Chains A and B, each alone.
Chain A
Amino acid sequence: DAGVIQSPRHEVTEMGQEVTLRCKPISGHNSLFWYRQTMMRGLELLIYFNNNVPIDDSGMPEDRFSAKMPNASFSTLKIQPSEPRDSAVYFCASSFGRGGYNEKLFFGSGTQLSVL
């Protein structure tokens, strides 16, 4: 299995621009998570889906952030408009199960986002 696939690996954009991050979970996994990692705040859960349905989006910072999962093999995280404080590494992870606390997470390689 190729693992969780994220694209792009690096994204540099200017403040105010729209940014779309993409994720393909491991085939057969039915839970998908979006995390953000920064030096200051560590690994933060933004949102997670189970069977393509958003279950908990309480970690989404504000309305500028939105996430979708149109099917079992694809998810996007969109930031519009982007701001310099959004600069971080964004990880997608998937698991087999209901997205519960006792499931092993498989992380993608992440997208390094820099907003200038």
Chain B
Amino acid sequence: GQQVMQIPQYQHVQEGEDFTTYCNSSTTLSNIQWYKQRPGGHPVFLIQLVKSGEVKKQKRLTFQFGEAKKNSSLHITATQTTDVGTYFCAASGSARQLTFGSGTQLTVLP
């Protein structure tokens, strides 16, 4: 299936700092989805991006889809302890099946 590389694997930030996770592919993606999984929980859908260069915002979260549709990012402004969890991108390419990235585990230090 479609391979997506997600970085970083881990990120520790002080509460109030910003956080960004990146998802990269060597091939063009049809779309990309982002999920959040709290510790001990299950993945929860956050958003889907479909268009080249698309930017969507959800409160302090900003999602971007690259112009070439080969990469995406999730940026959190002024992190809070409630942001703790693992953020996954999930993408599909020619295979038309979702493949999940390895996730970025975010720790927010109070």
Please say whether chains A and B are actual partners in one complex: yes
A interface, CB within 8 angstroms of B:
42-43, 45, 56, 91, 93, 100-102, 104-110
The 5 closest A-B pairs by CB, nearest first: A101-B92, A43-B100, A107-B42, A104-B45, A42-B102
* Chain B residues closer than 8 Å to A42, beta-carbon distance: 100-103
* Chain B residues closer than 8 Å to A43, beta-carbon distance: 43, 88, 100, 103
Q: A43-B88, A107-B42, A110-B42 are in contact. Are A101 and B31 (CB under 8 A)?
A: yes
Q: How far is the CB of B93 from chain A (nearest CB, A)?
A: 9
- 5 further contact pairs, Cβ within 8 A, besides A102-B30, A109-B41, A110-B42: A42-B101, A42-B102, A45-B1, A45-B99, A105-B45
- Complex Cα–Cα for A109 and B37 (A): 11
- Complex Cα–Cα for A42 and B43 (A): 12
- Complex Cα–Cα for A101 and B50 (A): 11
Say yes or no: B31 contacts A102, CB within 8 Å: yes
Q: How far is the CB of B92 from chain A (nearest CB, A)?
A: 3
Q: How far is the CB of B2 from chain A (nearest CB, A)?
A: 9
- Complex Cα–Cα for A93 and B48 (A): 17
Residue of B nearest to A55 (CB): B97
Say yes or no: B33 contacts A91, CB within 8 Å: no
**CB pairs A–B below 8 angstroms (8 shown):** A91-B42, A101-B30, A101-B97, A102-B30, A102-B48, A104-B33, A105-B33, A107-B44
Q: How far is the CB of A95 from chain B (nearest CB, A)?
A: 10
Say yes or no: B43 contacts A56, CB within 8 Å: no
